[in-house]
Amino acid sequence: MIYIADYVVTQNATRDCIYNGAVAVEGNRIADVGFADEVISRRCDDKRLNLGQAVIMPGLINGHTHVAMSALRGYSDDKTLMDWLQKDIFPAEARLTFEIIKISSLFSCTELIRTGCTSFYDMYMMADAVAEAADESGLRAVLGESVSMYFPGLAGKDEETLFERVREYSAKWKDKSRINGAVCPHSVYTTDARLLERCRELADETGFLFSMHMSETKGETQNCLKENGARPLDYCRSLGILSSDTTLYHMVDVNDDDLGIVKECGCAIVHNPASNMKLASGVAPISRMLDFEIPVAIGTDGPASNNSQNMVREMYLASLLQKVDKLDPLQAPAHSILDMATAGGSAALHNKNIGSLEKGKLADFIALDLTSPNMQPVHSIISNIVYSATGLENRLTVVDGQILYKDGEFLTLDYAGLSKQIHAIRDWVYK
């Protein structure tokens, strides 16, 4: 199939944007990218889908979320992080079930697909339930099992049961090309040193990736200094748990020494602007992270702290937050933000085959409609994507060569049915 549109934003090494471009797909890979007339002449027998006044671009990569939390969207807002977590979210989550986690995750997948996301990195309890949802939706995902020291937990009555569950599903996921796993200690403040070391061992044993919330607030740093005599990153480095398979979420309260540790250990960072603003955690110094040549991705965080899963909205916020924080409009320019949501996401998910439209890469892409009033005229297609789009311009989501959404229709998920189910779960939350 050849997909044709007025613009193709490749995000390749030279960041080529092609006017009257086309992307050809064979199986789950991109077979050709270029000017439409040239691609068609090289592949004259292929079927064609001409999207007209639209931009084809790599699918956005959501570097950090908790998709099952769509069940709790709007349940608790306008609280401090600790009050929000400990008084409202943790008690509600303690009553979740495998089925509720799966349905809530499926519902979130509709939002991700609708707003142009093709891959996400999730952290939650019962990652096997989230994985079933991701698998059914057709999205690409890294599913991380959230581990904390509070037992009994949803995914296991004690640590051994939980770890055994991860071992069991890791063996089952080996053949699933779109699904990868991760071991995710929740944070330094919900674990202890021994549990963090055991999580690292479990990741190494299963071949899973490793990620955690890190340095989200000043309070987290102060507590870690008091209890462990070191800042969170220094503490984690001393335990030997950080490596090139590691992704760190938030990274708001960090200094140059912390970033030096991240660079030395080869970790990637995910910036979560909406969550950091809404919970008033602070502003992550993403320009400084890029100075250190650390890969930086963008994530929405969960739908209970954002409260959306819309990566287009997140790109807009990421840019504007840096500008106002530094009182400098040159900060976080549009193209560097789009890089974070594509190439940065590829680094955060530790998958080199996504994030750009190039021959041989996985066929994960979207197409934004350019006919709506907010998307015209086009002086800079990148500016329109980052500063003007809302996410709802997306009219095509393709993952692994498969169309998941096209012009209002979900092709892998029953949106009407899932809407009914999420309303029923909303009522269950209050029972």
Residues that bind Zn ion (CB under 5 A): 301
Query: Closest CB to Zn ion among 121 and 410?
Result: 121
Helix (H, G, I), strand (E, B) or coil at 24: strand
Whole-number Cα distances in Å, 299 to 19, 63, 178: 29, 4, 19
1 residue type, one letter: M
Q: In the complex, what is the shortest distance from the CB of residue 66 to Zn ion, in angstroms, rounded to a whole number?
A: 6
Four-residue CA torsion sign, 113, 114, 117, 122: negative
Task: Please state the φ and ψ torsions of residue 269, each to the nearest 5 degrees.
Answer: -120, 145
CB of 4 to Zn ion, least distance (A): 39
Sign (positive or negative) of CA dihedral 294, 246, 135, 298: negative
Give me the least distance between CB of 366 and Zn ion, in Å please. 24
Residue nearer to Zn ion on the CB measure, 317 or 404? 317
Task: Point out the residue whose Cβ comes nearest to Zn ion.
Answer: 301
| Tokens of residue 399, six digits | 């993952």
Nearer to Zn ion, 216 or 400 (CB): 216
CA 187, 188, 192, 197 torsion-angle sign: positive
Q: State the Cα–Cα distance between residues 7 and 17, nearest whole angstrom.
A: 7
Pick the closest to residue 185 from 170, 172, 200 (CA basis): 200
Tokens in use for 376? 């015209």
Three-class SS state of 214: strand
Residue number with CB closer to Zn ion (300 or 412): 300
Residue 29, Ramachandran bin (φ over 0: left; ψ between -120 and 50: alpha; else beta) = beta
Taking the least distance from each CB to Zn ion, the nearer of 11 and 276 is 276
Q: Are 5 and 48 in contact (CB under 8 A)?
A: no
**Considering beta carbons, is residue 65 or 412 the nearer one to Zn ion?**
65
* Cα(122)–Cα(62) distance, integer angstroms: 9
Contact of 102 with 129, CB cutoff 8 Å: yes
Select 65 or 336, whichever has its Cβ closest to Zn ion.
65
**Smallest gap from residue 249 Cβ to Zn ion (A):** 6
Identity of residue 88? D
Q: Minimum distance from CB of 277 to Zn ion (Å)?
A: 14
Cβ distance to Zn ion smaller for residue 119 or 397: 119
Minimum separation from the CB atom of position 393 to Zn ion (A): 27
Q: How far is the CB of 213 from Zn ion (least distance, A)?
A: 5
**Residue 275 Cβ, how far from Zn ion at the closest point, in Å?**
7
